Amino acid sequence: MLPEQKTQDFHTTHKHLFENDKKKLSHVLMERFKNYIVLFLESSSIHGLNHFVNVGRHPCEVVLWVTMVSLSLYVTVYISWTTWVRYQSSPTVISMDRDMFAWNTTFPCVTICPDEKIDPEKLEQFLSSSEEVDKEKLKAFITALANATFENFDTVPEYEGIEPQHYLETLLSLTPAFNPTLTIGAAGVYLQTVPTVTEMGLCYAVNSKVAVYNSPDYRRANKWDIIETKNSSFFVHPLDGEVFAQVLNITSYNAYVHGPLEVPDISAKYHHSASFFYMKIYITATTVYTSPEAAKLSVGQRSCRFKHENNLQHNSVYTYTMCRMECRVQLCLHYCQCVPYFYRRIGDENICDVKGLHCLVQHKDVLIDLKHKGGKKVDCECYPICDDVKYTIQSFALEQWILGTNFQWGIVTYPRMRYRRDIIFGFTDVLVAVGGMAGLFLGCSVLSFMEIVYFMTLRLICYTKNTIEK
* pLDDT one-digit tens code per residue, 213-264: 999 999 999 888 888 765 567 888 888 888 889 999 899 999 999 999 999 9
Bridge partner list, 112: 204, 255
DSSP characters for 217-275? HHHHTT--SPP--S-PPPEE-GGG-SEEEEEEEE-SEEEEEE-TT----TTS--EEE-T
Please check whether residues 45 and 165 belong to one and the same domain.
no
Query: Could you give the CA distance from residue 94 to residue 88 in angstroms, rounded to a whole number?
Result: 16
Confidence of residue 187 (pLDDT cuts 50, 70, 90): low
The mean per-residue pLDDT over the stretch 152-175 comes to 92
Residue 42 clears pLDDT 60, i.e. is over it: yes
User: Is the separation of the CB atoms in 351 and 338 below 8 Å?
Assistant: yes
Range of the domain at 189: 101-423
Predicted confidence (pLDDT) at residue 342 exceeds the cutoff of 80: yes
Find out whether 216 and 175 touch, Cβ atoms under 8 Å.
no
Model confidence band, residue 16 (pLDDT cutoffs 50, 70, 90): low
pLDDT band at 469 (very low <50, low <70, confident <90, very high): low
What whole-number distance in Å separates Cα of residue 325 and Cα of residue 432?
A: 43
For residue 94, being part of any structural domain is answered with no
Residue 95 counted as domain residue: no
CA dist 174 to 119, 139, 145, Å? 6, 12, 12
Residue type, 45: S
User: Is residue 292 situated within a structural domain?
Assistant: yes
Contacts of 104 (CB under 8 A, 6+ apart): 235, 236, 237
For residue 107, how many other CB atoms are within 10 A of its CB?
Answer: 27
| Backbone dihedral angles phi then psi of residue 21, each to the nearest 5 degrees | -65, -40
For residues 184 and 43, membership in a common domain is answered with no
Contact 302, 294 (CB under 8 A): yes
CA distance linking residue 247 with residue 182, whole number of Å: 5
Summarize the chain as % helix, strand, coil (round to 5). 45, 20, 35
| Average pLDDT value for the chain | 86
Q: Is residue 221 in some structural domain? A: yes
pLDDT confidence band for 74 (50 / 70 / 90): very high
The answer on 148 and 253 residing in a single domain is: yes
Residue 197 has pLDDT above 90, yes or no: yes
CA distances from 435 to 22, 74, 88, 222 (A): 46, 15, 18, 53
pLDDT (0 to 100) of residue 18? 52
Instruction: Point out the least confidently predicted range of 3-17, 200-214, 326-340.
Output: 3-17
% the chain with pLDDT above 70? 91
Note whether 154 and 70 are same-domain residues: no
Is there a domain that residue 2 lies in? no
Q: How far, in Å, are 18, 169, 342, 367 from residue 166 at the CA level?
A: 86, 5, 11, 23
In this structure, are 377 and 436 located in the same domain?
no
Q: Which residue has the higher pLDDT, 359 or 28?
A: 359
In a 3-state reduction of DSSP, which class is residue 287?
strand
Predicted local distance difference test score (pLDDT) of residue 465: 75
Same domain, 355 and 262: yes
Residue 439 pLDDT class (50, 70, 90 cuts):
confident
Q: How far apart are CA 161 and CA 137, in angstroms?
A: 10
Q: From its phi and psi, is residue 443 left (phi > 0), alpha (psi between -120 and 50) or beta? A: left
State how far Cα 13 lies from the chain centre. Answer: 75
Question: How far is the C-alpha of 320 from the C-alpha of 334, rounded, in Å?
Answer: 21
Q: Same domain for 210 and 306?
A: yes
Q: Which residues pair with 283 in a beta bridge?
A: 393, 411
**pLDDT at residue 381 greater than cutoff 50:** yes
User: Which pLDDT does position 2 carry in this prediction?
Assistant: 45
280 lies in the same domain as 370: yes
Residue environment code for 395-426, b if the CB has 16+ CB neighbours within 10 A, otherwise e:
eeeeeeeeeebbbbbbbeebbeebbbbbbebb
C-beta neighbour count of 96 within 10 angstroms: 9
6 domain-assigned? no
Q: What percent of the chain has a predicted confidence (pLDDT) above 90?
A: 45
Strand 405-411 and strand 243-250: pairing? antiparallel
Give 10's pLDDT tier (boundaries 50, 70, 90): very low
* Distance (Å, whole) CA 41 – CA 344: 65
Return the pLDDT at 71. 92
- What domain count does the chain have? 2
| Three-state secondary structure readout of 349-415 | CCECCHHHHHHHHCCHHHHHHCECCCCCECCCCCCCECCEEEEEEEEEEEEECCCCEEEEEEECCCC
Residues 83 and 115 in one domain: no
Is the same domain home to 136 and 199?
Answer: yes
Do strands 92-97 and 418-423 pair parallel, antiparallel, or not at all (unpaired)? antiparallel
Residues 140 and 44 in one domain: no
Residue 100 has pLDDT above 90, yes or no: no
CA 372 to each of CA 15, 265, 366, 450, 462: distance values in angstroms, whole numbers, following the listed order: 77, 19, 6, 55, 67
Mean pLDDT along residues 85-94? 88
Same domain? For 289 and 361 the reply is: yes
Quote the distance between the C-alpha of residue 425 and its chain's center. Answer: 21
| 192 part of a folded domain | yes
Average pLDDT of the segment spanning 403-419? 89
Report if residue 9 sits inside a domain: no
Q: What is the pLDDT of residue 215?
A: 93
